[in-house]
Chains A and B, each alone.
Chain A
Amino acid sequence: MTVAEASPLELLRSHHPVGASTGYMEEIRGDWHQLAAGAARVSSLVVEFSALSEPELDGLVSFLSKNPRLPFRYVSVHAPTKKRTVPESSLVEWLSHLPRWVSAIVTHPDVVHDPSAYRRLGRRLVFENLDARAPEGQLTELERLFESLPEAGFCLDVAHAWSVDPTMQLANELLDSYRNRLRHLHVSSLDPAHRHAPLTVEHAAAYEPVLARCRDVPWVLEAPLPAP
């Protein structure tokens, strides 16, 4: 389906599988049962449980460790990148206790100081590209991390790539470099404050050629589905 004939909602709904990040469900933050139910209402196939702030992680690990009967076939966890207090090695130790059926543990390259500490996460570790506020040299930094952690995967945050380069050349370069590491996508628009927002017509049009290269991996929505 091309953008010429599809609304942003149709573009997203035409993909399989698609799912929600709990990160945008602000009003029920911390209630993991409710967050899982909220994500399942978007899609029962894919979810990303977002514990962006470190204080959220304890509750999430506790929730997942009880092996709740979740419907999702692909479960990702976004590791804390904000309000970090515990030492890096302790955080990784904590993350390593996530059940093995958690397929991906996403983190940001700029919070990794000792790559070797992350080795124990193996293939579950996934690095996400950052938005235009990140310091220059993102590609170099990702390259360095993948050299240290050859099993790690890549999550293309399409909106972040667009914010750095609206021509989407960067997104294509990231895919050229890391296509065989790609595990899933983050899909949304960005508002002027760089907050994730529902996909707009303009962004859908800009993203479409990049999305077409990623038809086989889950797309995680970082904002509510756009209006019909």
Chain B
Amino acid sequence: MTESPAGALERLAEATDASFPHLFAARERTEDSLRDRRQKLSELGTDRDASVVLMGSWGRRELTGESDDDYMVILNGRERTDPRPRLDAVRRVVGGGERKPGAEGTFDDYVYSRHLAERIGLDRDDNRNLTRRMLLVLESLPAVGEHAYHEARAAVLDGYLDVSVRDFRPPRFFLNDTVRYWRTICVDFVGKERERGGEGWGLRNAKLRTSRKLLFASGLLPILECHKYTAAGMRPFLEAQLAAPPTDRVADAFIRHGAIDAGGRAFEAYDRFIGLLHDPPSRRSLQDLSREEADESPAFAEARRIGRELEGSLLSLLFETDELRALIREFGIF
């Protein structure tokens, strides 16, 4: 039986006398809003092989007052022209008004799980497909169609855990795609800055330093931990890990590797970031900030400080604990 990391953030809070008030409030907010969305979406009618999947801050259980509703409708079966629910009906429940999903066309669409699972690498795996796949695996939850959601995620995991996987060795294909995703986000950050003339620079930069980094770690750590399992044991382990919120996965790693103090500091910092995003003036100040104004912004100074503290804790977990140090050295770079 594979132990679940669920509840690890609470355990870490208890061990470090911390309260992480913004993180736990965001989890409650996510659960409350999810109940509402589920009730409304359940009235629409959903194909048996379909799931409305919420991603981003929903998937991280970190909903703040002005979070976007990033979602997609996953379809497991054949391609067709009339899937249910219809997107225009879904849009009346999620993604309306200020909660419109991101502008890249990644969300608010039908997505065939077959494409995510089978088109890994090469030109057919474009930026959008990569992003959808990684978000489904790392930060998502089903609003409706839970069975179809789990099938889709299992199909993607199967796409990674193929015959090349060896017992007691981290699955390289999955590892490389996860690292590739993180580096793609970093490169695309500059691409977006050039394309959009700096619009939204401050908030994207702050997220890159914090929530994106934590998300990457929340994928990297379970993949490295696969070294404890046979090839057959990796899938249940990864499924149990990926079913928990990213913050639980990372908190669990800090606890298991005896880095309690560093873990407490990591989440004390990240908690402040969630508080910053939930505070409308601070969020707007980051949203409107240009690169040229960054050094004068108190909100950006705080985001930069948080990012550095979080990064320091994650790096110490990876490079200054015995087991992970060996794994990250062996598999993390080449």
User: Which A residues fall within an 8 A CB radius of B?
Assistant: 15-17, 67, 73-74, 99-101, 103, 122-123, 175, 179-180, 182, 213-218
Residues of B within 8 A of A175 (CB): 261
Q: Which residue of A lies closest to B300 (CB)?
A: A100
Q: Do A73 and B308 have beta carbons less than 8 Å apart?
A: yes
* Closest Cβ–Cβ distance, residue A91 to chain B (whole Å): 21
10 closest Cβ contacts across the A-B interface? A216-B316, A216-B262, A100-B301, A215-B316, A215-B320, A216-B313, A180-B268, A216-B312, A213-B261, A179-B261
Chain B residues numbered 276-320 whose CB sits less than 8 Å from any CB in chain A:
295-298, 300-302, 304-305, 308, 312-313, 315-317, 319-320
Using known A-B contacts A103-B308, A179-B16, determine if residue A215 contacts B259 with beta carbons closer than 8 Å: yes
CB of A44, distance to nearest CB on chain B (Å):
15
Alpha-carbon distance between A17 and B316 when the two chains are bound, in angstroms: 10
Interface size class of B (residues with CB under 8 A): 20 to 34
Instruction: Looking at the assembled complex, report how far the CB atom of A218 sits from the nearest CB atom of chain B, in whole angstroms.
Output: 8
A99 to chain B, nearest CB (A): 7
Q: Report the minimum CB–CB distance from A43 to chain B (whole Å).
A: 14
Report the Cα distance A100→B305, complex, angstroms.
Answer: 10
Q: Which residues of B contact A16 (CB under 8 A)?
A: 315, 319-320
Q: Which residue on chain B has the smallest CB distance to residue A17?
A: B312
Beyond the given pairs A15-B320, A179-B17, A216-B261, 9 more chain A to chain B contacts, judged by CB atoms under 8 angstroms and listed by A's residue number, are A101-B301, A123-B302, A179-B261, A179-B264, A180-B265, A215-B316, A216-B312, A217-B312, A218-B312
Question: For B261, what are the chain A residues with a Cβ–Cβ distance below 8 Å?
Answer: 175, 179, 182, 213-214, 216
Instruction: Let me know if B18 is at the binding interface, CB within 8 A.
Output: yes
Structural contact, A123 and B312, CB atoms closer than 8 A: no
Give the interface of B toward A (CB within 8 A).
16-18, 259, 261-262, 264-266, 268, 295-298, 300-302, 304-305, 308, 312-313, 315-317, 319-320
Which residues of the partner chain A approach B300 to less than 8 Å between Cβ atoms? 100
Residues of chain A contacted by B297 (CB below 8 angstroms): 100
Pairwise interchain contact A182-B295, C-beta atoms closer than 8 A: no
Contact between A100 and B312, CB atoms less than 8 A apart: no
Residue pair B265, A217 in contact (C-beta under 8 Å): yes
> Which residues in A have their C-beta under 8 angstroms from that of B316?
215-216
Chain A residues, CB < 8 A from B304: 101
B296, B301, B315: which contacts A216 (Cβ < 8 A)?
B315
CA A99 to CA B301, docked complex, whole Å: 10
Contact A180-B264, Cβ < 8 Å, known A16-B319, A100-B298: yes
CB distance from B124 to the nearest CB of A (A): 39
Contact between chains at A180 and B262 (CB < 8 Å): no
List of B residues within 8 angstroms of A215 by Cβ: 259, 262, 316, 320
Question: What's the least CB distance linking B190 to chain A, in Å?
Answer: 19
Q: How far is A216 from B296 in the complex, measured between Cα atoms in Å?
A: 27
**A-chain residues with CB within 8 Å of residue B312 when the two chains form the complex:** 17, 216-218
Contact pick for A103, options B17, B296, B298, B305, CB 8 Å: B305
* B296–A100 touching, CB < 8 Å: yes
Residues on A with beta carbons closer than 8 Å to the beta carbon of B16: 179-180
Using Cβ atoms and an 8 Å threshold, which residues of chain A touch B319? Answer: 16
Task: Determine the distance from Cα of A133 to Cα of B319 in the docked complex, in whole angstroms.
Answer: 37
When distances are taken between beta carbons in the complex, the residues of chain B under 8 Å from A17 are 312
Residues of B within 8 A of A100 (CB): 295-298, 300-301
Sampled A-B contacts (14; CB under 8 Å) = A16-B315, A67-B295, A73-B308, A100-B298, A103-B308, A123-B305, A182-B261, A182-B265, A214-B261, A216-B262, A216-B266, A216-B312, A216-B316, A217-B312
